[in-house]
Structure 1
Amino acid sequence: MLGGLSSQFEAASDGYATEHGIERDPDWFVLKMQEELGELTQVWNKLSGRGRTHGKSELDLKSQMADETADLLGHVLLFAHHHKLDLASAIERKWRFQPSL
């Protein structure tokens, strides 16, 4: 479930880092989450009228928002994977359901 998805993100991220000479040290994982949240916030600001759209349509911005949300999800899963966090158990504890991803 979450482990399989985390492994897919890990493989993609590791390949990208290797290809581009990026060192994924412990700080990198949390900083990337912050970066992606900032990018998602930037798109949200445009969609909600708090930022310039630079001529992009609402449909374009929603697509971009989906992309940034996917990036954020990926980096959350990478952070959890790197720190060997049991997200499934945490979801059950905090959200009171069993994840079925």
Structure 2
Amino acid sequence: MFDELKRKFEEASAAYAAEHSVLRDPDWYVLKLQEEMGELTRAWNKLSGRGRNGGKTPGELRQSLSDETADLLGHVLLFAYRNDIDLASSIERKWKFKPDL
């Protein structure tokens, strides 16, 4: 179910890493999750008035929140890909529903 999406994120990430000489060792995947969560938190703080907005409009702040959410999802999928995690089965077991992708 998530396999195609995980593969696409892996291809994009591998190309970016090759272009920018990024070493994607096993720790990199979990460290990137932490980094992206920090960026999402910063975007949320700006949007919710808990941080300086840098002169951005509410629409720009909302777009930043959306972009950072996409980055976090991408890195969750990369982590799952790297660690051979079956997300669909885990969601079904943990959340008690079958994902419909």
Identify the TM-score tier after normalising by the shorter chain: over 0.9
User: How far apart are the structure 2 equivalents of 1:39 and 1:16?
Assistant: 19
1:96 Cα deviation from its structure 2 partner: 1.1
Gaps of 5+ in 1: none
**How many aligned residue pairs are there?**
101
Q: CA-to-partner distance for each residue in 1:21-72, whole Å, 9 max, x for gaps?
A: 1110011000001000000000100111110001101110010110000000
TM-score, structure 2 as length reference:
0.97
Task: Map residues 1-101 of structure 1 onto 2, 5 A cutoff.
Answer: 1-101=1-101
Gaps of 5+ in 2: none
Secondary structure at the aligned position of 1:53 is classed as: coil
User: How far apart are the structure 2 equivalents of 1:86 and 1:27?
Assistant: 20
1:100 Cα deviation from its structure 2 partner: 1.7
Amino acid at match of 1:5: L
1:83 Cα deviation from its structure 2 partner: 0.4
